Structure 1
Amino acid sequence: MKLSYKLLAVFCSSLVLTGCMKVLDKTDLGSTPGALIFKDSMLTQMNLDYIYDQNLPAPIGSLGPEPTSISGLSDESFAESKILQGSLLINEVGDFGTKLDAANNYGKIRVINMFLNDVNGGTLPQFTKNKLRSQAQFFRAWRYFDLVRLYGGVPLVLSPLAAVGVEAKDLAFLPRNTTAQTFAQIVNDLDSTIASVPGRWAAASDWGRITKGGAAAFKGRVLLYAASPQFNPTDDLTKWQASYDANKQAYDLLTANGYGLHSSFDQMWFQEVNNPEAVLLTGYNTATGDQTRKNNGYDNGTRPSYTGTAGGSNQPTWEMVKAFPMLDGKKPGESTKYTYTDQLFYKNRDPRFEKTIAYNGVNWPLNGNTGYKVWTYYAGGKTVEQKASNTGFYTRKAINPSVSIGDAQYSGTDWMEIRFAEVLMNLAESATGINKLDEAYTQLKAIRKRAGVEAGTDGLYGLKANMTRAEMFDAILYERQIEFAFEGKRFWDLRRWKLIEKTLNGTRRTGVTINLKTTGVPADFATNRDNVSLDLAYTNYFTLVFKQLDTKYAIAWKPEYYFFGIPQSAIDNNPKLIQNTTWGGAFDPLK
Structure 2
Amino acid sequence: MKRNYFSILSLLGLLGLASCEKVLDKTDLGSVNGSLIFKDSVLARMNLDYIYDQNLPASWGGTWGTRPDLSDESSGESKFFEGTLLVNDVADFGTALNATNNYGKIRVINTFINDVNGGTIAQATKNRLNAQAQFFRAWRYFDLVRLYGGVPLVTKPLQAVGVEARDAAFLSRNTTTETYKQIVSDLDSAMLFLPGKWGSSDWGRITKGGAAALKGRALLYAASPQFNPTDDAAKWQASYAANKQAYDLLVANGYGLHASFDQLWFQEANNPEAVFLTGFNTSTGDQTKKNNGYDNSTRPSYAGTAGGSNQPSWEMVKAFPMKDGKKVGESTKYTYSDQLFYKNRDPRFDKTIAYNGANWPLNGNTSYKLWTYFAGGKTVETKASNTGFYTRKAINPTVGVSDVQYSGTDWIEIRFAEVLLNLAESACGINSLEEAYTHLKAIRKRAGIEAGTDGLYGLKANMTRAEMFEAILFERQIEFAFEGKRFWDLRRWKLIEKTLNGKRRTGVTINLKTTGVPADFATTRDNVDLDVAYTNYFTIVTKQLDTKYAINWKPEYYFFAIPQSAIDNNPKIIQNNTWGGGFDPLK
What's the TM-score bracket when you normalise by the shorter of the two chains?
over 0.9
1:580 to 564, 567, 576: 576
One-letter amino acid of the structure 1 residue matched with residue 40 of structure 2: D
- Tell me if the contact between 2:6 and 2:52 (Cα under 8 Å) persists in the aligned partners: no
- Tell me if the contact between 1:9 and 1:29 (Cα under 8 Å) persists in the aligned partners: no
- Tell me if the contact between 2:14 and 2:43 (Cα under 8 Å) persists in the aligned partners: no
Length-normalised TM-score, structure 2: 0.98
Match of 1:27 in 2: 27
**Cα separation, partners in 2 of 1:270 and 1:426, compared to 1, 3 Å:** same
- Tell me if the contact between 2:14 and 2:46 (Cα under 8 Å) persists in the aligned partners: no
- Map 1:56-455 to 2 at 5 A: 56-57=56-57, 58-61=59-62, 63=64, 69-202=66-199, 204-455=200-451
One-letter amino acid of the structure 1 residue matched with residue 26 of structure 2: K
* Deviation of 1:4 (Å): 3.9
CA distance in 2 between partners of 1:458 and 1:10 (Å): 63
CA distance in 1 between partners of 2:38 and 2:395 (Å): 40
* Deviation of 1:8 (Å): 4.0
One-letter amino acid of the structure 1 residue matched with residue 465 of structure 2: R
Match of 2:491 in 1: 495
- Tell me if the contact between 1:174 and 1:577 (Cα under 8 Å) persists in the aligned partners: yes
- Tell me if the contact between 1:98 and 1:569 (Cα under 8 Å) persists in the aligned partners: yes
Instruction: List alignment gaps of at least 5 residues for structure 1.
Output: none
1:477 to 473, 476, 480: 473
One-letter amino acid of the structure 2 residue matched with residue 3 of structure 1: Y
CA distance in 1 between partners of 2:493 and 2:61 (Å): 19
- Deviation string 1:360-399 (CA, Å, 9 cap, x unpaired) is 1100000000011111111111111111111111111111
1:541 to 522, 528, 537: 537
* Deviation of 1:28 (Å): 3.1
* Deviation of 1:17 (Å): 2.9
- Deviation string 1:91-122 (CA, Å, 9 cap, x unpaired) is 00011111211221101101111111100100
CA distance in 1 between partners of 2:418 and 2:274 (Å): 10
CA distance in 2 between partners of 1:118 and 1:72 (Å): 42
Instruction: List alignment gaps of at least 5 residues for structure 2.
Output: none
* Deviation of 1:27 (Å): 2.4
RMSD: 1.1
CA distance in 1 between partners of 2:11 and 2:143 (Å): 29
- Tell me if the contact between 1:8 and 1:46 (Cα under 8 Å) persists in the aligned partners: no
Length-normalised TM-score, structure 1: 0.97
CA distance in 2 between partners of 1:388 and 1:10 (Å): 48
**Cα separation, partners in 2 of 1:416 and 1:224, compared to 1, 3 Å:** same
- Deviation string 1:496-525 (CA, Å, 9 cap, x unpaired) is 000000000000000111011111111111
- Tell me if the contact between 2:11 and 2:47 (Cα under 8 Å) persists in the aligned partners: no
Q: Aligned to 1:346, what secondary structure does the other structure show?
A: coil
One-letter amino acid of the structure 1 residue matched with residue 236 of structure 2: W
- Tell me if the contact between 2:62 and 2:413 (Cα under 8 Å) persists in the aligned partners: no
- Deviation string 1:126-164 (CA, Å, 9 cap, x unpaired) is 110000001000000000000000000000011111112
Q: Aligned to 2:412, what secondary structure does the other structure show?
A: strand
- Tell me if the contact between 2:149 and 2:585 (Cα under 8 Å) persists in the aligned partners: yes
- Tell me if the contact between 2:7 and 2:49 (Cα under 8 Å) persists in the aligned partners: yes
**Which region of structure 1 is more displaced relative to structure 2, 22-31 or 414-423?**
22-31
Q: Aligned to 2:277, what secondary structure does the other structure show?
A: strand
CA distance in 2 between partners of 1:195 and 1:385 (Å): 55
One-letter amino acid of the structure 2 residue matched with residue 565 of structure 1: A
CA distance in 2 between partners of 1:32 and 1:7 (Å): 16
- Tell me if the contact between 1:299 and 1:409 (Cα under 8 Å) persists in the aligned partners: yes
- Tell me if the contact between 2:323 and 2:347 (Cα under 8 Å) persists in the aligned partners: yes
CA distance in 1 between partners of 2:579 and 2:318 (Å): 37
CA distance in 1 between partners of 2:72 and 2:152 (Å): 33
CA distance in 2 between partners of 1:217 and 1:463 (Å): 26
* Deviation of 1:26 (Å): 2.5
Alignment coverage as a number of residue pairs: 584
Q: Aligned to 1:353, what secondary structure does the other structure show?
A: coil
* Deviation of 1:78 (Å): 1.0
One-letter amino acid of the structure 2 residue matched with residue 499 of structure 1: L
CA distance in 1 between partners of 2:256 and 2:399 (Å): 27
* Deviation of 1:25 (Å): 2.1
Matched, 1:555 2:551: yes
